[in-house]
Amino acid sequence: MEFDPRIFLFAIFGLGLMLAVSLEKHLSRFWLSLPIVYVAAGFAIFSLPIGLPHFNPARDGFDALTLEYITEFIVIASLAAAGVAIDRPVSWKNWRQIWPLLVIAMPLTVGAVALLGWWALGLAPASAILLGAAMAPTDPVLARSVQVGPPGESKRHDVRFSLTVEAGLNDGLAFPFTYLAIAAVGMTSLGWWTAEWAAFDLVFRIVMGCLVGWGIGRAGAWYVFEREADAPIDDVESERPRYSTSEGLVVLGTLLLAYGCAELVEGYGFLAVFVAAVTARQRENASRYHKISHHFIDQIEQIVLVAVLFGFGAMLASGVLNGLTWASAAVGLALVFVIRPISGLIAESLCGLPLPGKLAIAFLGVRGMGSIYYLAYGQNNAAFGQLDILWATASFAILLSIMVHGVFAGPVIGFVERRNAHIHVGEEDSMASLVPPNHEDREELRQELEEAEADQMRDEDADRLDCDGPVDVERHYKPE
């Protein structure tokens, strides 16, 4: 029988999906992460002499286009999951710890990486700016282990909250610098084009992305929750509206709508997706619908993540690091161990976290799929030179981040929590979260939600089963 590489890859992908959940639970015992194992597996599989296709965006423009589209979708899914998971109410007081990471740490990182790219790697100014823009944002995809948990957890964790919101917002805020690099291609001096970039790409597009995200987030939440008013009478008379996993389609559709509409009006789609997810989370905030929708989006994200991790391993096996030099490796090392930690510490210097918490935020700036997206987007929209150096430097930095942060993220978070340094000085472990004021007893609310879920599952089971004999539904669906 003739060997078919395409069918072989289907089998490998299916096996990867099956093992993903169990591996993720067991690897943490050994200071490992799923991305480390799957990238290594992708590298090993695509290194086999069995005729598998090569995948190198530095050599093939079609590979770069494929990368742009795949990473674009997984970033959208990751931003949606991160936004829905945030329990903290939106206000300046609750979110003030985030803004220094966006307006101080990120521009400092862009400038430092661009400067090193120009000085140490000999890149043209436009290519150096593109490298800085691609490597500056922290990644919402590979930073799952350091982000807040699913919706409904009311424990205060300022370190995880900062890392989650930073990854959610700076993936959209990296676009102005990417457009600056695209505009700088072929330019030899500053001029009117820089003022046009500042007014349009830096201000207008950010504002439009936020406005579209806010509007569609509110409209999507209204559509979901107001529909229950027209539910059948038995649903209306029940204690709580019933939701099923099909409701996740509404959430995903809403967030894709936010992305598309923002891009159509020249706003930043990534920013719109995160803002829409956070806005929708503020509505009917004690509803278990949010946990269902988060689970749905998280599953989609994991499916695409497995493919992307295998693909990144394929890139490494296909020679994307062939252009790596000692100088390129030094830039990647400097980003992970010097530039991000120092810029993060500067940004967090005035926040109320104890020093271990500040160090954790500064160190855990994970790089990943967002960087690949911005580099591929830049390559597909302008004629950048020295692409082999750009891809080699970025790929090395991402690989280094996967290994370093994948190994140390869990222990660092655990150390910070044991020192109680994950909460601002003077603040309580519990905090104002998205729970209605008439539910002061959070444990009682949790029990009520579990009982409502068990009731719904019993009803659904009764509808499905052929009731020829008694069915012990209580034994299967009793809340823990």
Q: What is the pLDDT along the chain (480 residues), one digit of tens a residue?
A: 678 888 999 999 999 999 987 887 787 677 778 899 999 999 999 999 988 988 899 988 888 999 999 999 989 988 888 888 888 888 888 888 889 999 999 999 999 999 999 999 999 999 999 999 999 998 877 776 787 766 666 678 888 888 989 988 987 789 999 999 999 987 766 778 889 999 999 999 999 999 999 999 998 888 877 765 334 434 434 444 454 545 667 778 888 999 999 999 999 999 999 999 899 888 766 666 677 777 788 888 888 889 999 999 999 999 999 999 999 999 999 999 999 999 999 999 888 889 999 999 999 988 888 999 999 999 999 989 899 999 999 999 999 999 999 888 888 988 998 888 888 776 666 655 555 444 444 455 455 555 655 665 665 555 555 444 444 444 444 444
C-alpha to C-alpha distance for 201 and 180, rounded to whole angstroms: 8
Q: What is the pLDDT of residue 236?
A: 36
| Alpha carbon separation from 393 to 42, 327, 399, 428 (Å, rounded) | 20, 9, 10, 43
346 residue type, one letter: I
Residue 358 main-chain phi, psi, to 5 deg: -65, -45
Please measure the distance between the N-terminal and C-terminal CA atoms of the chain and give it in whole angstroms.
52
Q: What is the pLDDT of residue 191?
A: 75
Q: What is the pLDDT of residue 475?
A: 41
Q: Can you give the pTM of this predicted structure?
A: 0.84
Q: What is the DSSP string of 1-57?
A: ----HHHHHHHHHHHHHHHHHHHHHHHGGGT--HHHHHHHHHHHHHTSSS-PPP--T
- List Cβ neighbours of 327 (8 Å cut-off, separation of 6 or more): 120, 121
Q: What is the pLDDT of residue 234?
A: 41
Q: Quick check: 317 and 42 in contact, CB under 8 A? A: yes
- List Cβ neighbours of 270 (8 Å cut-off, separation of 6 or more): 75, 76, 79, 171, 172, 175, 209, 259
